[in-house]
Amino acid sequence: MEKLYYVTSFNKKMFHQTGRFLINSFITSKSEGTLLVAYEDMEQEYIQESIPELIRKFANIEYLSLDNHKYGQWKKSVRSVTPVKHGGTLEEDDSLKVPGKPYYSWNQRATGWASKTFAMKTLVKEELADMIIWVDSDSVFKKKIERKWLEKEIFKIGVDIDPYKGFYHFGPYRKTTMKAAETGLFGFTKPGFHVINKAYTEYMTCEYQLQDRWDDSALYTRLMCEGVDKAFFRDLVTGDNGQSKNHVIVQGPFRKFISHEKGTHNRTILK
Judge whether 265 lies within some domain.
no
Closest to 41 (Cα-Cα) out of 67, 72, 7: 67
Domain CATH code at residue 245: 3.90.550.10
Higher per-residue confidence, 120 vs 171: 120
Which tens digits make up the pLDDT trace of 51-89?
887 677 777 999 999 998 999 999 999 998 888 888 888
Contacts of 205 (CB under 8 A, 6+ apart): none
Q: Please tell me the pTM assigned to this model.
A: 0.91
Judge whether 66 lies within some domain.
yes
The pair phi, psi for residue 262, each rounded to 5°, is -65, 130
Q: Is the pLDDT of residue 99 over 50?
A: no
Closest to 36 (Cα-Cα) out of 12, 60, 55: 60
Q: Measure the CA–CA gap between 164 and 153, rounded to whole angstroms.
A: 10
Q: Is the pLDDT of residue 243 over 60?
A: no
Judge whether 269 lies within some domain.
no
Judge whether 270 lies within some domain.
no
Domain housing 63 = 3-260
Indicate the range of 92-101, 161-170, 200-209 predicted with least confidence.
Answer: 92-101
Question: Per DSSP, which regions of 95-196 are E strands?
Answer: 129-135, 139-141, 166-169, 182-189
Which tens digits make up the pLDDT trace of 137-175?
999 999 999 999 999 999 999 887 899 999 999 998 888
Judge whether 192 lies within some domain.
yes
Q: How many domains does one find in the chain?
A: 1
Please give the pLDDT value at position 246.
73
Average pLDDT of the chain is 88
Please give the pLDDT value at position 173.
84
Judge whether 161 lies within some domain.
yes
Residues 118, 200 contacting (CB under 8 angstroms): yes
